[in-house]
Amino acid sequence: GDRTTALITIELFEEKAPNHVDNFIRLSSSGAYDHTIFHRIINDFMIQGGDFTNSDGSGGHAAQWYGYCNGETVNGQGTPYSSETCRVEDWTLGDEATNGLLHTPGALAMAKTSAANTGGSQFYIVPSDSTPSHLDGVHTVFGMVTAGLDDVTAISDVSIDGESPVHEVRLISVDIN
């Protein structure tokens, strides 16, 4: 297939989602996102990437300990989790979803399971033809595309098999200015 390179610029909203922005910057700066793929693409909805361990949506984790182990602060016995008692691959972020930022076209948000506080490293970007308002207040929006939204939308339009792109869509690098 044809190879196209796109540059997408995103403004991060540190004051609205401090832990999510900190986590994204740490993962980006460490190179965790370099050469990862957008493993899940749904036309008229979003493009999702950030699984730097398994590349299929089943992996990734927070860059550091933010107080949550797979969304929980305590284990089944009521003992608080710590960075020592929670496996690194289970480190997650507390939701910052009620920050007033909405799922408008260009929104950068944290992917997670249906459970609270389970975001780690996977993120999604909303294309220009989507406004998934049902995610407002549930998933944390922490950035907005300021240039390259047409490219995000073009990515959302690629041929898919189920929710996976037929041809790999790769994130080469994330640079923090």
Query: H/E element holding 144?
Result: strand 141-147
CA distance 110 to 117: 10
Query: H/E element holding 37?
Result: strand 36-37
What is the pairing mode between strands 46-49 and 170-171?
unpaired
Asked whether 149 and 27 are in contact (CB, 8 A), the reply is no
Q: Which residues pair with 92 in a beta bridge?
A: 68
The two three-digit tokens of residue 154, written as one number: 């073009």
CA distance 55 to 44: 22
| CATH top-level class of 9-64+96-171 | mainly beta
Neighbours of 45 (CB within 10 A): 19
Q: pLDDT digit of tens for each residue in the chain (177 aa)?
A: 577 889 999 999 999 999 999 999 999 999 999 999 999 999 999 999 999 999 999 999 999 999 999 999 999 999 999 999 999 999 999 999 999 999 999 999 999 999 999 999 999 999 999 999 999 999 999 999 999 999 999 999 999 999 999 999 999 999 998
Asked whether 103 and 131 are in contact (CB, 8 A), the reply is yes
Q: Is residue 14 classed as helix, strand or coil in its secondary structure?
A: coil
CA distance 39 to 102: 23
CA distance 154 to 73: 39
